[in-house]
Every structure is written in structure tokens, then in C-alpha cells.
Structure 1
Amino acid sequence: MPRPYSSAVIPAPLAEVWPHVRDFGAIHRWHPGIEACELTRGATPTDIGARRRLVLGDGGVVVEDLLALDDRGHTLTYEIIESPFPVRRYLSTIRLAPITAVGHTFAEWWVEFDADAAAEGNLVELFANGVFATGLAGLAGRYT
């Protein structure tokens, strides 16, 4: 099972960055590859089981469910329910941690997924660099 991964240093304190990540219905505000995001299930964007519908820059649609939100550990885990990607199972986590020496935030984002072997290499590249690294750079860009 592949595990694409990206990390970044966000030049802002964890207390400023975490509210953006934990808002499951607002990823479009910091991820440049997402044109729109709407909650289609859940009373609030932090309710476990909340569902969001993303419209990607190329018009593709992705539907995701919030599986876990840990304010103490600063992690958010979600799964893809529908997408244009040839994956059968997709569980992804974003985790933040303070860089106490300089007052910045360390962010990491990874996924475990199942796909046909022929598609795995392209998907690893797409998720690690096209989705996660791009999103983390967008998040960091809010503070530069």
C-alpha cells in the first residue's frame, strides 16, 4: 500500500495555523488546487462524519468525509468517498506540530490508498506533490 507524504514549515504559530486546517469546510481558502468547497453533511465543519464536496481546478469533483479531528494532537483525518482518481480506499491525515524554537508550525500530510499497481506510481506523485505539497505551500503562503 503506497503512502505518499509531504511536509512543510509554515511561518506562523500553531495557534494561528490550526484553525484553517481544522475547518473541514474551508480548504478552498488555502489550497490553490481547490476552486470550491461546500459542506453537504454535518451541522458544523468540525463534526465527525461531516461531508464536503470539492470542485478542483480542472472541474473534477471529490467528495470526502471527516473521520477524525483531534484538537489536542492537531490532526485531521478524512477519506475520499467519490473522486476522479482510480483509488479504491483513500485515508488521509494532516498533522501540525509546533516548532518551538522559532514559533513556526511543522505540517505534514499523507495518505494510504489502494489502487491498481499500474496506477500507483502516478498517484503517489500526484498526491505527494500535486495535492499535498501544493496545499501546504498555499497554507504557508497565507503567512509570507
Structure 2
Amino acid sequence: MASTTASVDLPVSPDAVWKLIGGFGSLPDWLAYIPESELGEGGRTRRLTNQDGGVIVERLLAFDHAARSYTYAIEQAPFPVTAYRSTLSVHEVSGIPDASRVEWSGTFTPAGVSEREAEELFHTIYADGLAELERTVRS
């Protein structure tokens, strides 16, 4: 199984960041690559449409508002992986008031590509998404 993690430190309180990104349907609020998110099954699934019209269906596996974290699995996507599981979380930065660290991590099994290629793909997705989040909170 392959894995990758990306993180970003932001000059915004963890609660403020979580308010922006903590909703399972909130990706369009901070990630331009996903302009559309439709929740289903009482908020347990989301059907995402990317900028190219591609569809990604994900299932919420765990949600912890107090810990500012949620975990989800991909059920349908144009990615070369199976058994995908990812967590998005917001943490306090020790010793720095009103700062937060956002971490996006995932595990998956490559399908038709090498482990390195799959890890690079998702690391790029996570890092680019977090860079976009940083631009959003700084504007």
C-alpha cells in the first residue's frame, strides 16, 4: 500500500480554518479544481465534479468535529488507485497563537502505475490543494 502526506501552516486559527474546510461538501469553497459538490445519503457521500467535468464519488468514513478531522474513501474516480482512504485535519501550531497546520494524507493501492507514480500524483493533488487553501485564507 502506498501513502503520502502534505501539510501547510496558516496564519489563521484552527477553528476559523475548520469552519471553512470542515464541511464534507465544502471543497468548492476553497478548491477551484472542484467547482461542484453534491451531498447524498444524508451527507455521507459527496459527488464532486472537477473543472474538466470529471466525476469523483467519495464516502465519509469518520468525522470528528472536536478534533477537526474527517476521513473519506473514494468510490469512483479517474485515478489509477484502489482502496483509497484519506484524512483532512486541522491542528493547532504549538507556541504560535492563531496559527494552524492543515494536513492532508492518504493511503491507496496503485492500479496500473508504480507506487512512486501514485504517491507523486496524490502528493501533488494535496500540495496544490493546500496551496490554494493558503491563498484563500490570506485573501
Question: Same fold, TM exceeding 0.5?
Answer: yes
Kindly provide the amino acid, as one letter, of the partner of residue 96 in structure 2. Answer: A
Q: Is the 8 A contact 2:80 2:112 kept in 1?
A: no
Q: Tell me how far apart the structure 2 counterparts of residues 117 and 60 of structure 1 sit (CA, whole Å).
A: 20
In 2 relative to 1, CA 76–102 (structure 1 residues): closer, same or farther, beyond 3 Å? same
Q: Spell out, residue by residue over 1:12-55, the C-alpha distance to the aligned partner (whole angstroms, 9 max, x if none).
A: 1011011222210111110122121111221xx4xxxx100011
Measured on the aligned residues, the alpha-carbon RMSD in Å equals: 1.5
The match for 1:85 is: 79
Q: How many residues matched?
A: 137
| TM-score, L = length of structure 2 | 0.90
- Residue 16 of structure 1 is matched in structure 2 by 16
The corresponding residue for 2:121 is 126
Divergent runs of 4+, >4 A? none
How does the TM-score come out when normalised to structure 1? 0.87
Note the C-alpha offset of 1:82: 0.4
Q: Which amino acid counterpart does residue 91 of structure 2 have in structure 1?
A: A
CA contact (8 A) 1:10 1:139 kept: no
Letter matched to residue 8 of structure 1: V
Local SS of the residue matching 1:80: strand
- The residue aligned with 2:103 is 108
Secondary structure of 2:79's counterpart equals coil
Per the TM alignment, residue 125 of structure 1 is displaced from its structure 2 partner at its CA by 1.2
Q: Percent identity?
A: 34
Deviation at 1:117, TM superposition (A): 6.5
Q: 1:56 aligns with which of 50, 56, 65?
A: 50
Unaligned runs of 5+ in 2: none
- After superposition, give the CA deviation of every residue in 1:71-112 in whole Å (9 maximum; x if it has no partner): 222111000000011212100001111124241110111100
Q: Distance in 1 between matches of 2:32 and 2:122?
A: 14
Contact 2:91 2:102 in 1 (8 A): yes
CA–CA separation in structure 2 for the residues paired with 1:36 and 1:57: 9
Q: Confirm or deny: 8 A CA contact 1:33 1:134 kept in the other structure.
A: no
